[in-house]
Amino acid sequence: MQANNNYPDKIKTIYKFTITSGQKPERVDVFLTRAIAGATRNRVQKAIDAECVRINGNPVKASRKIQPGDEVECVIMKLPPIELIPEPIKIEIVYEDEHLVVVNKQRGLVVHPSIGHRSGTLINALLYHLGMREAIKLELEDEDEESDNDDDEQIFASDAVRPGLVHRIDKDTSGLLVVAKNATIHAELSRQFAEKTTEREYQAIIWGNPKQEKGTIVGNIGRSLKNRKIFTILPKGGKYAKTDYEVLENFKYVSLARFVLHTGRTHQIRVHSHYIGHPIFGDPTYGGASVLFGGENPKFRSRAEKCLQIANERQILHAKTLGFYHPALKQFMRFDSELPEDFRQILELFREVSFDY
């Protein structure tokens, strides 16, 4: 059976400590989290639960306090380092100079390697495009699959990893991304995104027709307490998120909408659209992959089901416009992209038929 590079076997790492006479009593989970480079409380607790933490040869609980003379052993199963391997993946370059590159990302392409997706990404493609052929190994500080670090910032914190991502879009969202070629440009572009001086406009097909043609959606976004793999609006906690929307065309049961981001949270437009009762058409994660409006209309239902087949379980969402101040050229640059083929096809199918009966 061929190995799956995206899900490699974990490597056993054994840590051993002899507690010195000057060590004060301390919970063993606290001690190990501090003593093991890159360890997290969660990973240490998992090792304790699996009886992989022993003191003087005996498995212990997290509350056990270490004492001078104790022999502490901890076995942690770690994933091997991520290797950034240049790969000849076809990508659309919209603009490029010695400082940065703007890409129109196709649907289905993951932006960067992560714990469960180690190859076949935009970064792998860009490394190859820029002439790199040697793999770059990256040791992750936290490989916990349920880590709250959804931004994966650590992967690209090193100056060794260039091109450097400034922002991201989801795997099945298409559209424009700017990527820095050096640390100076990366820092300046990151500052612009943090200070919200960039321009980011998306277009999407959404279910239904919002009562207000224009509006602003505000709601803190965080991981769902019921399903850690998705995000939701949280009454407490989460990260502040703000999105403007405008209905561009109304097809009664679905609409073409424009979204402008004021913040850049994971799944922000998808979560906010779902929150106001108008999920992105085709979105399997946030309730958009079935007929939500107009199901009682046989003509529309037939057309909608055909369009859902074209969407093929992907959200019909496109990062259409991107603007930023070029740090080296000292000028504002604005890029606009055409809607992808599946988006245009679905749009035309809804445009050509009236459902007002």
Domain harbouring 152, CATH code: 3.30.2350.10
**Comparing 247 with 158, which gets the higher pLDDT?**
247
Q: How high is the pLDDT of residue 146?
A: 42
Confidence band for 356, pLDDT divided at 50, 70 and 90: low
Q: Which of these, 158, 95, 101, 153, lies nearest to 127 by C-alpha position?
A: 101
- 98 and 113 part of one domain: yes
Q: Tell me how far apart the alpha carbons of residues 259 and 164 are, in angstroms, rounded to a whole number.
A: 26
Residue 98 placed within a domain: yes
Q: Tell me how far apart the alpha carbons of residues 16 and 219 are, in angstroms, rounded to a whole number.
A: 46
- 188 and 209 part of one domain: no
Lowest mean pLDDT among 75-84, 90-99, 239-248, 251-260: 75-84
User: Contact, 44 vs 33, CB < 8 A?
Assistant: yes
| Secondary structure of the chain as H, E, C letters | CCCCCCCCCCEEEEEEEECCCCCCCEEHHHHHHHHCCCCCHHHHHHHHHCCCEEECCEECCCCCEECCCCEEEEEEEECCCEEECCCCCCCEEEEECCCEEEEEECCCCCCCCECCECCCCHHHHHHHHCCCCCCEEECCCCCCCCCCCCCCHHHHCCCCCCCEECCCCCCCCEEEEEEECCHHHHHHHHHHHHCCCCEEEEEEEEECCCCCCEEEEECCEEECCCCCCCEEECCCCCECCEEEEEEEEECCCEEEEEEEECCCCCCHHHHHHHHCCCCECCCCCCCCCCCCCCCCCHHHHHHHHHHHHHHCCCCCEEEEEEEEEECCCCEEEEEECCCCHHHHHHHHHHHCCCCCC
Residue 124 placed within a domain: yes
Q: Which of 78, 98, 113 is the last residue of a domain?
A: 78
- 97 and 74 part of one domain: no
Q: Which of these, 308, 349, 337, 342, lies nearest to 207 by C-alpha position?
A: 308
- 328 and 203 part of one domain: yes
Q: How high is the pLDDT of residue 24?
A: 87
- 227 and 309 part of one domain: yes
Residue 250 has pLDDT above 70, yes or no: yes
Residue 100 to residues 133, 183, 185: CA-CA distances in angstroms?
19, 11, 8
Number of domains in the chain: 3
Q: How high is the pLDDT of residue 229?
A: 85
Residue 338 placed within a domain: no
CATH number at residue 58: 3.10.290.10
Residue 299 placed within a domain: yes
Amino acid letter for position 353: V
Q: What is the pTM of this model?
A: 0.79
Residue 200 has pLDDT above 80, yes or no: yes
Q: How high is the pLDDT of residue 6?
A: 60
Residue 283 placed within a domain: yes
Active site residues per annotation = 170
User: Rounded mean pLDDT of 37-57?
Assistant: 88
Among the ranges 9-13, 77-81, 336-340, which has the highest mean pLDDT value? Answer: 336-340
Q: How high is the pLDDT of residue 149?
A: 41
Q: Tell me how far apart the alpha carbons of residues 234 and 117 are, in angstroms, rounded to a whole number.
A: 28
Residue 148 has pLDDT above 70, yes or no: no
Q: Which domain holds residue 128?
A: 82-194
- 189 and 250 part of one domain: no
Q: How high is the pLDDT of residue 112?
A: 80
Q: Which of 166, 194, 222 is the last residue of a domain?
A: 194
Whole-number average pLDDT of the chain: 87
Among the ranges 11-25, 115-129, 177-191, 335-349, which has the highest mean pLDDT value? Answer: 335-349
User: Rounded mean pLDDT of 155-179?
Assistant: 78
Q: Which of 194, 211, 238 is the last residue of a domain?
A: 194
pLDDT digit string (tens) for 75-125?
987 777 777 889 999 999 999 999 999 999 999 999 887 766 778 889 899
pLDDT digit string (tens) for 264-295?
899 999 999 999 999 999 999 999 999 999 99
Q: How high is the pLDDT of residue 161?
A: 54
